[in-house]
Homo-oligomer: A and B are copies of this chain.
């Protein structure tokens, strides 16, 4: 499990090299932002953080690089929000298998580390599926939905 940003960057560099991609300044900025946020972020959030640091990151470049990073296994694009792509560092990169907490009110998404209980129940379910119907399970996605602490405060106020 990658814990320092330096290790992260060198791993990314390798992953990109495997596909003959350069680890450019823009791409480093994106990875740095995602590493530091350590939660799924939309494109505009990524741009906002970059902007705070006086990094000019054009929209088209950001999208293109996120797609390339995804293709190289550095970034994962989540399907969690109704109408917005959310990006995070890929599990293959961080070594941190996890699921997500999604607030139904504000749409905020946060990581949630898994537990062996759950993972065991899931593998059993996957085995049953592969036995009973002809579907080859290779992964899973779990979201717990509800109301986040922020929205809870606002509601009770």
Interface residues of A, Cβ cutoff 8 Å to B: 79-82, 101, 103-104, 112, 114-115, 117-118, 120-122, 124-126, 128-129, 133-149, 152
Interface of A is mostly: mixed
In the assembly, what is the distance between CA of A19 and CA of B133, in Å?
A: 40
**Is B118 a contact partner of A122 (Cβ separation < 8 A)?**
yes
In the assembly, what is the distance between CA of A126 and CA of B144, in Å?
A: 7
Number of copies: 2
**A143-B145 in contact given A79-B79, A121-B118 (Cβ < 8 Å):** no
A149's partner among B125, B126, B134, B140 (CB-CB below 8 A) is B134
**Is B141 a contact partner of A136 (Cβ separation < 8 A)?**
no
Chain B residues with CB under 8 Å of A126's CB are 144
**Is A136 a contact partner of B146 (Cβ separation < 8 A)?**
yes
Cross-chain pairs A/B with CB under 8 angstroms, 29 sampled: A79-B81, A104-B139, A112-B129, A114-B125, A115-B125, A117-B124, A118-B124, A118-B125, A120-B121, A121-B121, A129-B144, A133-B149, A134-B148, A134-B152, A135-B146, A135-B147, A135-B149, A136-B146, A136-B147, A137-B144, A137-B145, A138-B146, A139-B144, A140-B142, A140-B143, A140-B144, A140-B145, A141-B142, A141-B145
